[in-house]
Amino acid sequence: MTEKLILDGNVVANEVKDALKSRIQALKEKNITPCLATILVGDDPSSATYVKMKGNACNRLGIESRKIHLPKETTTEELLNTIHELNEDSSVHGILLQHPVPDHIDERQAFEAISVEKDVDGVTSWGYGQTALGFGLYPSCTPAAILQIMKHYNIDAEGKHAVVVGRSPILGKPVSALLLNENATVTTCHSRTTDLPQFLKTADIVVAAVGKPNFIKGEWLKDGVVVLDAGYNPGNIGDADYSSCYEKASAITPVPGGVGPVTISMLLKHTVDAAERR
């Protein structure tokens, strides 16, 4: 790439969703409506907004959105019972537990209760392990979105040095595994990495996934780097300082309008995939 490229997530998301329309229609002709069940525990306003956005995206495509809203007092056992019921419901093809749950709930235990066949958000350790080994059905949606953006814009990871800043189980770790499977050389860093700029100076591809606004500075990057910002902080601010990183990058995702829209489209794709497999 010789020109600076803005990696427009809305374009990629629309391409993914357009490709789903005929598949959804084919399922409905067999009396199957793809169904995503979303579980929201408590009244966190950001989580409620995310669930609403996902539901609206489902409805626009003709995917059934089944919303389960549990009170913040819900116990781990009660949440597990809800998940087990959805696992047994053959009309539900995908299950999404909105993160985070209230502190008194064992979130990891709840994630692990989701059937791997319905784990369309890639949150179970079983699904993560399969993804890392290269045969997972449903990678975590944000890592999958990052790979989809790269595919759309013909950004080849093979032989490149990718530095992932972040190590969460549903973003930093799985995107590192996916990039490794694409034959990139991957360095996984995080907020406690000593002398982070020295690692970023050598990166051909940077994935910002540390959860800190404007954390990655342009002066830490080399010219021509590809910056994929998966951060989303209050005020629509990414994890990379956009203005300074833009000056160094050959390609960069904006925030908002970059990775976010594609994440939702990958959730829809995984739900349709699951419906077809059923």
What is the 8-class DSSP label of residue 4? -
Check 8, 17, 118, 121 and give the catalytic one: 121
Q: Strand pairing of 64-70 and 5-6? A: unpaired
Residue 130 appears among annotated catalytic residues: no
Q: Measured between alpha carbons, how far is 26 from 276 in angstroms, rounded to an integer? A: 10
| Close Cβ partners of 226 (under 8 Å, ≥ 6 residues apart) | 150, 155, 204, 205, 206, 249, 250, 251, 252
64 phi, psi to nearest 5 deg: -70, 130
CB distance 225 to 250 below 8 Å: yes
- Peptide bond before 256: cis, by omega within 30 degrees of 0? yes
From edge to edge, which strands make up the β-sheet containing 35-41?
A: 64-70, 35-41, 94-97
Q: Which tokens go with 123?
A: 């949150």
What is the 8-class DSSP label of residue 240? B
CA 87 from centroid of its chain's CA atoms: 22
User: Exposed/middle/buried for 268, CB within 10 Å: 0-12, 13-18, 19+?
Assistant: buried
Residue 156 appears among annotated catalytic residues: no
CB distance 214 to 188 below 8 Å: no
Check 98, 118, 239, 241 and give the catalytic one: 98
Check 54, 160, 173, 269 and give the catalytic one: 54
Residue 98 appears among annotated catalytic residues: yes
As annotated, the active-site residues are 54, 98, 121
